[in-house]
Structure 1
Amino acid sequence: MSTAVTRRSLREQDPPVGAPAAASSPRRRPARLLADLLLWIAAIGGVVCIVLVILAYTAGITLIMFKTGSMSPTIPAGSVAVVQRIPAAEVEVGDVVTVDREGELPVTHRVTTIVPGATDAERVITLKGDANATEDPFPYTVTSVRTVLFSVPGIATVIVAMGNPFVLGGITVAAAVLVVWAFWPRDGRRRERMPT
């Protein structure tokens, strides 16, 4: 009874006497390692994006960018904060929250006072930026706010640049080239012929 011959068993056999050794250019190995590293980085980036989308829909977690330094030094200008939407009833004095304003950009400041609103779910809150000398001019009536979980300084410019159509197009083309290059068959590979 003969044993099955597989490609793996053929590769593991010693080459015939006088046969040239399989081509293994030292230049190809670092290139292959670089391709693998870049593919892993792209895969991790993709997983992070998927996790962020899931968190945005299930837990109300999103990102906000700080253009001004009104929350310095706690959150300097150019920071990105991770925020989560919570009911206004859960807000406490001292929390840093983002309040949406109709027709204007949202404001992110620290809560200084909380007063019950017209309903059980409503609160009237007063905010003040850590770098500001006075409280915001008007209180905000809210039923929910986005509370700041944590912030990362200095990456807002990177995220804004990623939104540029030319940058997005370049990243897409580079990713496509990387995937094609990593999985393209190599001419230098030895082709084994399966026995009939």
Structure 2
Amino acid sequence: MPHTLTAAVRHEADVRKSRFLALAAPIESPEAAQAFLETSRDLQATHNCWAWRYGSHYRFSDDGEPGGTAGRPILQAIESQGYDRVAVLVIRWFGGIKLGTGGLARAYGGTAAECLRLADRVELREECQVLCDCPYADMDRVQARLLAAGARIEHAEFDGRGVLWRLLVARADVAALEALYTDQTRGQGEWCVLEADGGPAA
């Protein structure tokens, strides 16, 4: 079972006078990964190299370092430790001594790997999407109960009658949450579990 980080973490290393700073964080979407990288990069540094993985989606960047010496080693550090939904940025300040391609790969990959080794991790639960609706009069109460029970609101649409939520729910908790939702809406709401293709479960 893959893991993710419980919180952002950092680790710094010096390699032959170059300073490397790894910043790692859990992400809720590919867009969140890009936002983390944009807000965390140091424009005064020599290079801002990074990688992230979110399920089957991943990206990485060497940011001007020789191809294959930075982004891919960072991604390999994420994957080799069984992480998912994680972004890692490794910032380098050049110290005047060239490291060579092998040295760069070891420095970037090693700094990222040590950062992730030092981090607190949590097992990722298998989730599914649920569509459900709620009238405005019950919205605050039902939302509070669902969130307290572990559901996460991925999207909300509002119309004249109320709100339509798309929730992320642990697959193991679907039945219990449906019972809670039915009780809170007095059986008036619609609860539909979606499969990976976005269609309703059979």
Which TM bucket (shorter chain)?
A: under 0.3
Q: Which has the larger radius of gyration?
A: 1
TM-score computed with the length of structure 1 as normaliser: 0.25
Report the structure, 1 or 2, having the larger strand content.
2
